[in-house]
Structure 1
Amino acid sequence: MRRLCIVLSLCAIALCHAARAAHAATVGDLDWLSGCWQSTGGEAGSEEHWLAPAGGSLLGVGRTVAQGNTVAFEFMRIQQQGDSLVFIAKPSRKPEASFPMISLQGKKAVFENPQKDFPQRVIYQLKEDGSLLGRIEGLSDGRERAVDFPMQRKSCP
């Protein structure tokens, strides 16, 4: 019983620390996301561009190209809201959705909105090799699903 209490106490401390870190984050903590990113293995033109943090926000745009045509696009922003950050996405042909940040550990940011249809989580992680992994996760048709979007930094036009 004593071990269980210790384990639960340690988990509570870790959760409080993670929540405090996420709430104390500023857009400047995500400056590693800014720049131009080319989809790894995607067709030319499949990319994301993120402006540098300024005015309490990062602004981004993404485009997916298949068979020479733009098949999807998305306008994105990460914005300061009080003591926390929120990822806001406006994908093509879908309503805008907000995902509050739930954790920021080093160069990995996790945003989540459990009330939304798929995806419920949006994750960006800068890898040690300099590549960027975008990932969406959540329940779809009652099953857990994840889609990865690996990217490499490229020169901005």
Structure 2
Amino acid sequence: MKKTVSWLALSVLVVACQKEVSFDQNEIKKVEWLIGNWETQTEFGVLSESWKKINDSTFSGKSHFINNTKDTVHHESIVLSEKNEKLMYQTIIKGENDDEPISFPLVSLTENTLVFENKNNEYPQKITYIKKSPTSIVALISGRQQGKESNEEFTLIKK
């Protein structure tokens, strides 16, 4: 009886650990709701983000912020790719990090939420996308900035 309980406990532990360590294949298919053109108007200007499917393992994204005087003050190129069954969010922000990509590995995925994290990045350390409806998503960037917790939330509408 003790051997049966021990094997059962060990089996449950192994299965639980495997599920936490790796994600299912084709995770990128679960986030196809991200594909499209998204936009929000803020008091400072317009933030837009566009995503397209490049192939079965890669999405390409662009993010722009154009202020009220029509100047582009933020331009970002993003690649969301699945390699070895893991999703990676890589961003190149014009004028930052010598225009080299910054990687954010996936740390959490549910049907309507994606969370990427890079604790070594200056700011943000976490990037979250939440699907609110087929035509509305929330993009949240957060982390420590100048020694204080900070977060910025943008509700984007599909165009």
How does the TM-score come out when normalised to structure 1?
0.79
The answer for the alignment partner of 1:61 in structure 2 is: 62
Contact preservation (8 Å) 1:87, 1:99: yes
Q: How does 1:7-156 map to 2 (within 5 A)?
A: 16=17, 19-20=20-21, 23-24=23-24, 26-41=27-42, 43-44=45-46, 46-52=47-53, 54-66=55-67, 67-95=69-97, 96-128=101-133, 130-154=135-159
Deviation at 1:129, TM superposition (A): 6.7
Q: Alpha carbons of 1:148 and 1:133: their partners in 2 closer, same or farther (altered >3 Å)?
A: same
User: Which has the larger strand fraction?
Assistant: 2
How does the TM-score come out when normalised to structure 2?
0.78
Q: Which SS does the other structure have where 1:23 is aligned?
A: coil
Over the residues paired in the alignment, what is the CA RMSD in angstroms? Answer: 2.3
- Which amino acid letter does the alignment assign opposite residue 83 of structure 2? Q
- Which amino acid letter does the alignment assign opposite residue 60 of structure 2? L
Identity of counterpart residues, as a percentage?
23
Deviation at 1:18, TM superposition (A): 6.8
Deviation at 1:147, TM superposition (A): 0.7
**Shift >2 Å, 4+ stretches:** 15-20, 40-44
Instruction: Kindly tell me the number of residue pairs found equivalent between the two proteins.
Output: 140
Higher relative contact order (CA 8 A, sep 6+): 1
| Higher Cα radius of gyration | 2
Q: Which SS does the other structure have where 1:117 is aligned?
A: coil
List runs of 5+ in structure 2 lacking aligned partners. Answer: 1-12
Q: Please give the alpha-carbon distance, in whole angstroms, between the structure 2 residues aligned to 1:31 and 1:58.
A: 9
